[in-house]
Structures are given as structure tokens and as C-alpha cells.
A and B are shown apart, each in its own frame.
Chain A
Amino acid sequence: EAQVTQNPRYLITVTGKKLTVTCSQNMNHEYMSWYRQDPGLGLRQIYYSMNVEVTDKGDVPEGYKVSRKEKRNFPLILESPSPNQTSLYFCASSLYGTIFEGGYTFGSGTRLTVV
């Protein structure tokens, strides 16, 4: 089944403790992206990647890192999480150049709470 898989689904952590949220897709998509969803703000893009070793900042990149060493994986790293990063996170992917035609495929989300 074609899908984007995120792990974990739920995570509670403490301020300053480094964490990684994994994202993997099995559709051979070049384009991958991370979004955060907050009430009243909709979805905001954190980082995106057009292909292996090519990443770029989205609208809200502060406090996050990403890497794209393999085509299928696009982990989101919080080096020193803070409470304002408590949010619902989504990974999404698309064939490069076809977002215009077909939009994204989304993962099921990771609900992160930083205390």
C-alpha cells in the first residue's frame, strides 16, 4: 500500500531533550515536506526537500533540523525542544513537479507535547 509512515504517533518529552520524528514513504517520491498544525493557524511548512541531499526552509524552520540521506526517509529533528513546539506534525510527499497536478500524500501525524 502506498503510504507515508510517521513515528511515533504520540510523544511527550521534556524541554531540551533531543528527539527525532521519523518519516518514510514507499512511493519513490522526490519531494517531501514537514508541516505543523496549530489551532487557528492551519498548516505551516517547516522544511521541505526536493530530493536526496537537497533541503530548504519553509515558513517556520526555527528550532528544527532535517536531513535527506535517502530518498524514502525524511526525519525531523528537534535538538532542544521547547514548549512552543508542542503541536501536531505531518510529513507529506509528492512526485516532484506533480504537486501542481495531484497535491500531497500525508502521513497520519505525530502529536508532540513538550513539558
Chain B
Amino acid sequence: GDSVTQMEGPVTLSEEAFLTINCTYTATGYPSLFWYVQYPGEGLQLLLKATKADDKGSNKGFEATYRKETTSFHLEKGSVQVSDSAVYFCALSDRTGNQFYFGTGTSLTVIP
């Protein structure tokens, strides 16, 4: 079945460092891919998305490119801030929208 695998955490970075959180997927067909962010004590918020191959989703300085050839959707940010400290979830939806799968989450801590 469909699934999402993301890199284990936790990840600790210094402010202004470059961030990559890896995400790969397994799916039949052509799913949509998402990154959600969960700040401490809050629910999940949609960070960015891509609905077809080679699409790049971007928001708040974060980017991810839908790579069909490598079945990946890695999250990147060029310069992280303390306020980016959160848990990040990669997710996948099949084309019907009836199946939605989350990765296990990657905790990011950014230190000043």
C-alpha cells in the first residue's frame, strides 16, 4: 500500500543553518504530497504542497520539489530561525483523496 517515510529526528541546528528533512514515498499512481508543521501545543498546519511531478511547493522560506523519478519530496530551508522549531510531517494523498498517509514526523530544534 501507499506509505511515506521521513528521516528520523530529532534534528538540532544553529540559527541560519541550512535545513533538509528527507521524505520518500511509495504510491500507486500519482499522489499529492504535503508538508505539515506542528508547533508546540498546537495542531498541524499545512506548510506546503505539490500535486504533480516537478511541482515545487513553497511557503515561509521552505521549499519542496515533487520528484517522481526518486519518489521524494524533501523539505529545505536556506536559513532556519528559532521560530522554525517544530515537528514536521510529510504526507501523501491518493488522487481520490480517500487515502491520506502521514510520516512519523521529524522534530526540529533551532538554537540561537
> Which A positions have Cβ atoms within 8 angstroms of B?
4, 31, 33, 35, 40-43, 45, 50, 90, 92, 94, 96-109
Contacts and interface: CB of A to CB of B under 8 A. Distances in A.
Contact of B89 (A40, A43, A107): A43
B36 A103 contact: yes
Given A31-B97, A42-B104, A94-B97, A103 B49 contact: yes
Given A42-B89, A42-B105, A43-B89, A99 B43 contact: no
Nearest to B49: A103
B45 A98 contact: no
Contacts of A107: 43
Given A102-B49, A103-B34, A104-B46, A42 B103 contact: yes
B43 A43 contact: no
B103 to A, nearest CB: 6
B58 interface: no
A35 B100 CA distance: 11
A101 B50 CA distance: 8
B94 to A, nearest CB: 7
Nearest to A44: B102
Interface string B89-112: 101011111101011110000000
**3 nearest CB pairs, A to B:** A99-B97, A42-B104, A106-B43
B45 A99 contact: no
Given A42-B89, A109-B43, 10 more contacts: A42-B104, A42-B105, A90-B44, A100-B32, A100-B93, A101-B32, A103-B32, A103-B49, A106-B44, A106-B45
